[in-house]
Structure 1
């Protein structure tokens, strides 16, 4: 772990040096503890062979360099705290190209970017950074794991057009995300030339906020996605919000294009937030998912672990409720997917998932406890002879 201490010390030295040069520097970060256990295959809950854990420390440094230039740096340390082969047998995330739990300690620069305010309405951001799903639905930073994945990208944001945000980006590399993912290795999106993206969001029409994104991913696909947030329910005198989504992934090579559509209706009853959603994706050559990770989707029916069942050749219904309880909230959500023969879970079989989550902020720390039930009509969906799976996930995050 000496590398971590030296790197964090170097970051402190940078902060001290820039401060003496009359540069406005702000520091912050987060500390994370993360544990997950599952009973898939021959594993039982809390058995170390079916469990994963990590601890993480992220230090953020943001500086105003003057003349409308800014600097952002994030250093990330990731460790197992010596839990390997005792309480756990693997990690949620790793680094250094070694995914074994006892080699999961590493340090990396997960953000390093320069910002420049070009005009009063135009901002450019160049370097390693997070990308939000709201403006980049096919290349975004996912927050479900210990730390978020980042991208090497050039992004320009312009608001010259009234009530309109225009985002243009070139996305080159990403470190991806996933179970035991090597967060220190950045690979190309697409083949040789990365991906180009254009997003337009408009708020000029009251009650309607469309966001349209177009991607050209080198030697992989062209993709389009539209998300439309509306007040149609309220306009009709109903206490609900209605959202629509849809788009297409068109492969550069052989194979048919993939089309995805969705609708979401949400509202509140007696203080409980309720959501119902439906999505459908046909059986084209490419799934509707995050091209930067291959894991999560922009679909309204995305839950904790159901991405494999919803992103291709699938019809999915989801119900969700959120209620305040104590210092936090309880989230209960259930989804059923009618899956075809090209889905990633239970090929040509139906899939069900139930998520029960409690999330609270206590003493400045955010805690999450989640139970996930997964079921499939495929007798071997979760290991030989296993058509069900139970997962428990716990994490704590302290932001400073």
Structure 2
């Protein structure tokens, strides 16, 4: 597997800026010295109990890990529409683990990587509101996203074009040649951890529109013809596949605030052994005094798992109020309720949720996962600490019952996750 050549990337950026400098040599030094340095220190601790429901809990079972990472970024000033950005990250495993779960390796990384290195060009806005970004970058969208949950993060090599010419509309096209995973030289060589080069590049178009008052529309299409494993998206896919995502959310014109959302997504696979699949969901949210209330329901086709979001983010942007369990397995139906009290504390956001799973016999057979009868009770607290600018924490607690048919086995799992981050 080819590794990303940091020197070549730096030379490309310098060369492009150098060519531009011949046109206006006086502006380049100002663009470089006028740049901005920023960074973040991220720490994560995870602890979970042992459960006999190993296949259901997957990598979340029996954890005890701690890790940290430092990210350092440089973003240049503007030079004739060009801007350059470079970011490195260094991770450290605290070596707390005393178990053997998958999270022992995927969440605890000791490595240094170049996770960002791109050149932007912003066109004259009087002509077009368009930006072209070339190089290693972060992407956040329903079907293509690098996760920020762990201290070290993934990124993508490719080209993205973002256009905002249509009022209240953003269109973003992506051409991806490589999924750069967060493990660096700490990779264990598995499909999950090794970088993925796309011999047949991955394509994506993502559109968001808010032209109509109180109505938000979103749609995305993604496709690849890659042979073999695609680098472990939400569920492993072999050979090429295409997937789509649509969502609409509407705030009702009523005195009492009510928002209704609907979504539908689907996937088609090139591999003859993989059946096409789809999922649909509905969400209703309101607020009673200072308490937000949310009810959601999602159903997934019996024939196959939905592949989720490419990029180590299996729980893509569905409506389900779950903290840790995956919501993409064949034949699964998830009903969830979320309560979000406002304690009138600046920077504090608290969500208490409960989700109940059911799964058809056909879905269990086709997914090789049994979530029928499972439930999750979760508390998710986020707090921006006001006494120190840039300091924040997030605490997630969950109690899961996988409802194993064999009553003699332990179906329960307790899970705790603590983040402490500092941006500067």
Shorter-chain TM-score bucket reads: 0.7 to 0.9
Please name the residue that 2:164 is paired with: 159
Aligned residue for 2:335?
A: 317
Q: 1 CA distance for matches of 2:177 and 2:48?
A: 35
**In structure 2, do the counterparts of structure 1 residues 93 and 195 end up closer, same or farther at CA, with 3 Å as the change threshold?**
farther
Once residues 287 and 107 of structure 2 are traced to their aligned partners in structure 1, the CA distance between those partners, rounded to angstroms, is 46
In structure 2, C-alpha distance between the alignment counterparts of 1:398 and 1:390, rounded to whole Å: 27
Residue number in structure 2 paired with 1:46: none
- Report how far residue 391 of structure 1 moved: 0.7
Secondary structure at the aligned position of 1:341 is classed as helix
Q: Does the 8 A contact of 1:142 with 1:177 survive in 2?
A: no
In structure 2, the CA distance between the partners of 1:226 and 1:299, relative to structure 1 (3 Å rule), is: same
CA distance in 1, matches of 2:367, 2:65: 22
1:358 aligns with 2:381: yes
Taking the aligned partners of 1:250 and 1:208, their CA distance within structure 2 comes to 29
Pick closer, same or farther for the CA change 1:105–1:329 going to 2, 3 Å. Answer: same
Task: Tell me the secondary structure at the aligned position of residue 123 of structure 2.
Answer: strand
Query: Where does 1:235-250 land on structure 2 (aligned, <5 Å)?
Result: 235-250=253-268
Q: Specify the alignment match of 1:275 in structure 2.
A: 294
Equivalent pair of 1:39/1:391 in contact (CA under 8 Å): yes
Q: CA deviation at 1:89?
A: 7.0
Residue 304, structure 1, aligned to residue 323, structure 2: yes
Tell me, which stretches of 5 or more residues in structure 2 are unaligned? 1-6, 15-26, 53-61, 227-239
Q: Following the alignment from structure 1 to structure 2, what is the Cα–Cα distance between the partners of residues 238 and 68? A: 46
**Structure 2 residue matching 1:235: 3-state secondary structure:** coil
Cα distance in 2 for residues equivalent to 1:140 and 1:124: 18
- 2:402 aligned partner: 376
C-alpha separation in 2, matches of 1:394 and 1:100:
13
- In terms of mean alpha carbon deviation, does 390-399 or 347-356 score higher? 347-356
Structure 1 Cα separation of the partners of residues 366 and 318 of structure 2: 15
CA distance in 2 between counterparts of 1:380 and 1:131 reads 43
Q: Secondary structure at the match of 1:193?
A: strand
* Equivalent residues of 2:70, 2:91 under 8 A apart: yes
Q: What do residues 29-83 of structure 1 show as CA deviations (whole Å, max 9, x unaligned)?
A: 11112111111248xxxxxx730110111111111250111111111110024x4
Choose 198-207 or 274-283, whichever is displaced more.
198-207
Change (3 A) 1:348 1:33: closer
Is the 8 Å Cα contact of residues 53 and 92 (structure 1) preserved in structure 2?
Answer: no
Change (3 A) 1:380 1:50: farther
Structure 1 gaps, min length 5: 1-6, 43-48
Q: CA deviation at 1:114?
A: 0.8
Question: What TM-score, normalized to structure 2?
Answer: 0.76
Q: 2:87: which partner in 1?
A: 74
Q: Is the 1:155–1:170 contact (alpha carbons within 8 Å) kept by the matching residues of 2?
A: yes
1:88 CA drift (Å)? 7.6
Deviation at 1:171, TM superposition (A): 1.9
Q: 1:343 to 1:112 in 2, by over 3 A?
A: farther
Map 1:51-200; keep pairs closer than 5 Å. 51-81=64-94, 83-84=95-96, 104-120=109-125, 121-133=129-141, 137-176=142-181, 185-188=194-197, 192-200=199-207
Residues matched between the structures, number: 362
Q: TM-score, normalised by structure 1?
A: 0.80
Q: 1:291 matched to which residue of 2? A: 310
In structure 2, the CA distance between the partners of 1:143 and 1:181, relative to structure 1 (3 Å rule), is farther
* Residues in 2 aligned to 1:244 and 1:392: alpha-carbon distance in whole angstroms: 31
Closer/same/farther in 2, CA of residues 227 and 181 from structure 1, 3 Å limit: farther
What is the alpha-carbon distance in structure 2 between the residues aligned to residue 390 and residue 114 of structure 1? 44
